[in-house]
Structure formats: C-alpha cells, structure tokens
Structure 1
C-alpha cells in the first residue's frame, strides 16, 4: 500500500478473494459500493469521497496482489479490507496461515479489517482478535470459540464494530456490513438511501457517540500502536504514563502527537472506546448499568452516566429502552 493521493477524494475498500470465497458477497459488495457512489453523486455531496473497490488475492508466497480495481490508474491505499464468507466449511489451518502475516501487516499500517460469517476465522488466526469481541454465524460460533479460545465470541450481534476490527454474523450479512461501513465513512443518509435503492433493510441509525470511528490512517506508527492497544483492552485503566510507554515516547511528546494524529486527547479517545463497549452491553446483555460501568473501566457509575449522556445525548437506561435486543 502506498500513500494516498489528494484528488479525487477516495475511500478504498478491498475485498479478500480467497479459495472458496462466496462470489455473491465479493461482487455484491462491489455493486453495493457502486450504488453508494451513485447516491453520493445524486445527492450532490461532492465533499464525500468516492468509494474505490479493489479485490485482492494471495500469491504462492502469501503476498496480496490486486486482481480487480475500480480505479486502477492511481496507487492503492486500502482503508478497509473485507474478508467475505464462504459456502464451504470453516477454513483449514493451512489456508489461514497463508494470509496471517499479510493481515497483521495491513492492520499494523492502519487498515481496518472486517469480516462476514466465517471470514472472521482469518482475522482470528492472525491473533488480532485475542481478548477482543467478535461475531460470526451461529453455526460456526462454537467452532470459532474452540479453535481460538482467546476470542470473545458474541454470536448474538449481527454486526460488531470494534473500531479497527469489524465482524458480522450471517452468510448474507455482507449487506449489513457494507451499509455499516457506508454509515461509518459516508454518513447515515448515504447508507439509508443505498439500502432503499437496493430494497434491503437499512442498518439501525446509531446515536452520536455510539459508533466510534477512530482515525487510523494518519501515518504515525507510535500513535497507531497505542490505538490498537486501547481497542484491544477496551481502554481500561489506560493512564497517560502507560500510553506513553506503549508508544515509546515522553508524555508531553505523546500528548502532542496523539492529538495531532487522532484529533482527540487520549482521555477523550478512551471515553469513546468505553462508551462504545457500554452500548453493546446495554443492547445485548441484562447487566445493570452499574455493572456495565464497572465492566468498561469506570469505578464511579455516576461518572460513567455523565460521560455516556454527554457523548450520546441519552442516559444509559434510555439507551437500553430504545436499542436493547428483545427489549
């Protein structure tokens, strides 16, 4: 991957074409993003980037190569790499190993990794999901948990957006994932209008502050290392000293570079990560608000409630009433 060009504004989304990958998902995602480009054009939203779709395949050495590109005349700069589902069984260890190093390398450069159904096995095999939550098709949830016991499998969630890693559940969940990515990068209106054009169910529109979109393509490797660390541990007990140590920087230098790279102070960033985790717990568990506050790293539930309401505009209890699954 090379540095991104200035014009035209572009958001490149790659799709991994591995042996057995579902063709409907590979080409369906390409069509969905093509429709989104039409929607942006019809809305006259010239400030939004055009989506560029590229398909990637591993050579014999495991290096990913472009086999299709909707905008081939400019250098590639993949912001999101989607691992599609397969109609076959869960991929074997040999196939997963072929892609492991490349997925780790791309993630380390700031590429968001996303999966549909058993595509999550590729990300899990890279070790990037260790200690992290992930979802997959209910039929493969037990196999995922057994093969990768360090992954926190949460199969009840259709799409689980954890910042730098996004997983989705059903075999046809590529539509949900594609629309979620549109909401994340191009906004709710584009996602909604794309769903309407395709006559599919739109994604539930997230409240402000509940769908955290961290900036990962800023090019500061030290800051990116800290961001991955925060996403991995849920930003629990993340002190300034520990973050600076992770970055290998003096605290004052770290503060300056972190804000320049992400647009947020470290404390603000941690609050976003914690509130995002809390939202999922409010939606999919019956834990009390106090238990959730403690679970995401707040010793004072009152302080958690204040931060939650400031970022989302609603109280945790009101959020649960509105969005709880089966509630």
Structure 2
C-alpha cells in the first residue's frame, strides 16, 4: 500500500516521522514491503521539517496513493484554515475518492475544507469543536470521540492522533495480531478512549477571561466552600448578575458549573494518579470521602473506583 505523508508550511511533522518508522517496523515484521511511504508536498521540493532536518519529497498530484496522512499544524482556532491553504485544499479536493484520507488535529479542518468530510462523521481536537461545527455544518461532528473511522476517511483528535490512525490502518491491512505485536515490541502507548463525562469543560473555559477566572477560583476553592455568593464576591459581581452571565455563556446554573469544574478535578486525579479517594477528597476540600463518592456517582452514574477502572 502506498501511503502519502503530507508536508506543508507550519505542519507538525513529528507524527509523520513516527508513522514512517512504525510502517517500516511492519515491513520488517512481515518480511515484505506492505507499506510504501511517500513523502509529499504540493510542488515536490525538499522540505525542512525543523531542527535542521530536511526531507526530499514528491509532488502530491503525481502520486499514486492508497492513503494520505494529513497532519495538524501550529495554528489556533482563528487560523486553522487560511488563504495560504487554498492551493493545498484544492489539491486535496481533486484526490480520487479511492484515496483514503487520514487526518488529525487541525489537519482535519483542511480535509473538511476540501469537501472530503461532507455528510460523514468526523472528530477533531476539543478546542476546535465549536469552530469546526460552525465552519463545516455539513460534517457530522463527534467531538466526544477520539477517533472516527469511515470507509473513505479517518479522523483523530490531538497532535498524537497519528498513532491510533496508524495502528487502525495496520490492523485493517495486516490483522490485529500484527498490530498488537508492533505495539508491544515498539512499546507504543496502547490507545484507549479517554473522553470522559467532563469532556466539554475545557471548551467552556476557552470562551474568554471571565470563564477562566471562574474556573481558577473554583479549582482553588475547597469543595465545601463553593457558593454562588462567594464566587460573586470574588468577581465583584452581584449573585444575580453572575448567575445570569454563567447561564447565558454556558447553559448551566452557577451551582451546576461549579460542581462540574470541581468534579472535573476529581476526574483528573482519578485518571492521572493512584491517590486514594480519601486523599483526593481531603485535598479538594470535600467534607469527607463519603460525600465525594456520593456526589461523584450522582454526577457520572458510577463510583470513583469504577470511573478509575474505566478511564485510567
């Protein structure tokens, strides 16, 4: 299978370099060239990927591809697709339908701009979810999914999205056993779905300095001391004004939002550490661990221990 690894100005090439090595490992394991890597740019020039490393490339329009990997770039939500991408987007739009497009991070938006995701399910990085939904309403966005696989395309969230995409492609063409062996012997992180019931919280907190100030105060305040009045005093607002503004910007009541933010801290501790429930409840200012267990289950539907087993 001929796999194109696409380079373009500002792209983050580290994932593509890793993929090239992973595909080489598959070829060595199978004792045959299962995957042929083809470095590509729009014009076929030598491309500097950074840190003094340059790669000779072929021209995208001349390549006979089975799949093309489109990485993310150093951009933000306002520059995810710009006029400088017009030629690249046009080239992507002209690719034959039989070329499978694998994109991740901001690269997903380039593929969407090319019209290759219209009418299909896709995901992207959490901080792009709102931008992507507004700009590409014809795509069936699944922001709660880390990876979405379709017949003609696959999309993944995050700058490390190349890994689940690459492993899925290996499993598809070489079988699960080979994919598991490559993962084992290259000591690659095992992909697990990590989207939690608190997935939307980061997006809410990116809405502006007001929401960030709310979140910072809630995270620093003991759980037992969280009240709308205390938050309003901290922000020099009346309780009524604060409640109206939070409701308008998030859809939550002030109490609901504070509860979500504080329990998101609990979620982070459960996933990222081995701390006991007692210690987490003490550090985050809950009355006791029983209170934490009860409120956490009310919010998520599972106990903290069950949650840790599911998402760690």
**What interval of TM-score do these two structures reach, taking the shorter chain for normalisation?**
0.5 to 0.7
Is the aligned partner of 1:93 residue 2:77?
no
CA apart distance, 1:84: 0.8
Distance of aligned partners of 1:101 and 1:189 in 2 relative to their CA distance in 1, 3 Å threshold: same
* Structure 1: gaps (5+ residues): 1-10, 61-65, 70-74, 205-324
Bigger RCO of structures 1 and 2 (CA < 8 A, at least 6 apart)? 1
Question: Structure 2 CA distance, aligned partners of 1:95 and 1:149?
Answer: 22
1:191-217: CA deviation from partner (whole Å, max 9, x where unpaired)? 11111122123457xxxxxxxxxxxxx
Aligned-residue offset at 1:133: 1.1
Q: Could you tell me whether the CA contact under 8 Å between 2:75 and 2:106 is conserved in 1?
A: no
Q: CA deviation at 1:124?
A: 0.5
Give 1:63's aligned residue: none
Answer yes or no: is 1:14 the counterpart of 2:1: no
Normalising by structure 1, report the TM-score. 0.51
Q: Equivalences for 1:293-312 in 2 at 5 Å? A: none
Bigger Rg, which one? 2
Match of 1:40 in 2: 30
Aligned to 2:37: 53
* Alignment match of 1:195 (pick from 183, 187, 208): 183
Q: 2:139 aligns with which of 127, 141, 151?
A: 151
* Structure 2 unaligned residues grouped into runs of 5+: 45-54, 193-309
Partners of 1:133 and 1:67 in 2: how far apart? 34
Q: 2:21 aligns with which of 31, 54, 68?
A: 31
Distance 2:16 2:168 in 1: 16
Q: 1:17, 1:57 within 8 Å by CA — same for their partners in 2? A: yes
SS of equivalent to 1:160: strand
SS in 2 for 1:59: coil
In structure 1, C-alpha distance between the alignment counterparts of 2:189 and 2:5, rounded to whole Å: 22
- Whether the aligned pair in 2 keeps the contact of 1:191 and 1:202 (CA below 8 Å) is no
Give the drift of 1:67.
3.7
User: d(CA) in 1 for partners of 2:25 and 2:191?
Assistant: 16
Supply the distance in 2 between the matched residues of 1:203 and 1:185 (Cα, whole angstroms).
18
Quick check: 1:96–1:121 contact (8 Å CA) kept in 2?
no
How far off is 1:92 after superposition? 2.8
Aligned partner of 1:120 among 108, 111, 122? 108
Q: Which residue of 2 aligns with 1:103?
A: 92
Deviations 1:60-81 (A, max 9, x none): 9xxxxx9447xxxxx9531000
Q: Output the CA distance in 2 between the equivalents of 1:158 and 1:83.
A: 16
CA contact (8 A) 1:97 1:125 kept: no
How many pairs are equivalent? 179
Q: Deviations over 1:150-178 (max 9, x none)?
A: 21211221211111011111211111111
Match of residue 70 from structure 2: 83
Superposition CA RMSD, Å: 2.4
8 Å contact kept, 1:131–1:150:
yes
CA distance in 1, matches of 2:74, 2:29: 31
**Structure 2: distance between partners of 1:51 and 1:124:** 26
TM-score (norm 2): 0.53
Aligned match of 2:271:
none
**Alignment check: 8 A CA contact 1:183 1:190 kept:** yes
Q: Is the 8 A contact 2:11 2:74 kept in 1?
A: yes
Aligned to 2:296: none
The answer to whether the 8 A contact 1:79-1:111 is kept is: yes
**Residues 209-220 of structure 1 correspond to what in structure 2 (within 5 A)?**
none
